């Protein structure tokens, strides 16, 4: 009876180990911070904002043991973008969405796996009609840009890891389709990210 139990245990362990080695996909959920830099433009428009918090959902498919394709959807709760257009001040409460696709290069060091990533992205800047928005002419704006990043994953089990990374979002500074807010500048938005991934 002990031999049968031992064989069953070893068989189950072998199947689990084999499954872990063949894992080529993962999904992750992360918390993000969105930090937009100060912009002083050639059009005498100055732009600054407070930070926003949000979430990022990702799906990653491994093409090789070190190269993967990743799709992302991210959304923030709300932040306020301030425009100074001499002599007026405008404020737009904004929800930012990201849809992106990236190529990910991973470097494997046992349980510690650094990675680099980058690819194209679309961003939706959605004004929120509340007291945080003082310019009622603003409308939703979609821009095309890119995302890039670097981080690491730390394996806590064959199925789960913790990921921390710095991501950057490159996008034209939004005007919300209001020409007086035009800057002719690009954002490099800082996006610190931390989350958990599940491999299957």
Q: Domain ranges for the chain, please list them.
A: 24-199
Q: What angle do CA 137, 147, 107 make, to 5 degrees?
A: 160
State yes or no: pLDDT of 5 exceeds 80: no
CATH number 3.90.1150.10 is the correct assignment for the domain at 24-199: no
Q: What is the pLDDT of residues 113-162, one digit of tens each?
A: 999 999 999 999 999 988 889 987 899 999 999 999 999 999 999 999 99
Selected residue with higher pLDDT from 4 and 170: 170
Q: Which of 140, 63, 138 is nearest to 104 (CA)?
A: 63
Selected residue with higher pLDDT from 3 and 34: 34
Mean pLDDT of 160-165: 97
State yes or no: pLDDT of 1 exceeds 90: no
Residue 20 makes CB contacts below 8 A (sequence gap 6+) with 158, 159, 199
pLDDT of residue 14: 44
For residue 134, what are its two tokens? 């003082």
State yes or no: pLDDT of 61 exceeds 90: yes
pLDDT of residue 132: 87
Longest dimension (CA), the chain: 87
Supply the pTM of this predicted model.
0.85
The whole-chain average pLDDT of the chain stands at 89
Q: Which of 169, 160, 193 is nearest to 36 (CA)?
A: 169
Q: How confident is the model at residue 22 (pLDDT cuts 50, 70, 90)?
A: low
The percentage of residues in the chain with a pLDDT greater than 70, rounded to a whole number, is 89
pLDDT of residue 167: 97
Q: Are 74 and 57 in contact (CB under 8 A)?
A: yes
């Amino acid at each position: 009876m002990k031999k049968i139990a031992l064989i069953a245990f070893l068989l189950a362990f072998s199947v689990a180990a084999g499954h872990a080695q063949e894992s080529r996909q993962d999904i992750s959920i992360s918390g993000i911070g969105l930090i937009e830099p100060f912009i002083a433009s050639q059009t005498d428009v100055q732009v600054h904002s407070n930070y926003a918090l949000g979430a990022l959902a990702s799906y990653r498919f491994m093409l090789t043991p070190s190269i993967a394709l990743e799709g992302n959807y991210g959304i923030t709760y709300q932040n306020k973008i301030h425009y100074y257009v001499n002599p007026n001040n405008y404020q737009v409460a904004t929800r930012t969405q990201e849809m992106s696709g990236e190529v990910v290069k991973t470097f494997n060091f046992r349980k510690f796996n650094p990675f680099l990533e980058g690819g194209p992205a679309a961003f939706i800047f959605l004004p929120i009609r509340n007291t945080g928005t003082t310019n009622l002419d603003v409308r939703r704006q979609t821009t095309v840009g890119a995302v890039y990043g670097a981080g690491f994953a730390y394996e806590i089990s064959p199925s789960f890891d913790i990921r921390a990374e710095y991501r950057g979002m490159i996008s034209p500074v939004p005007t919300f389709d209001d020409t007086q807010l035009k800057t002719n500048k690009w954002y490099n938005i800082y996006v610190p990210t931390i989350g958990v991934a599940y491999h299957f």
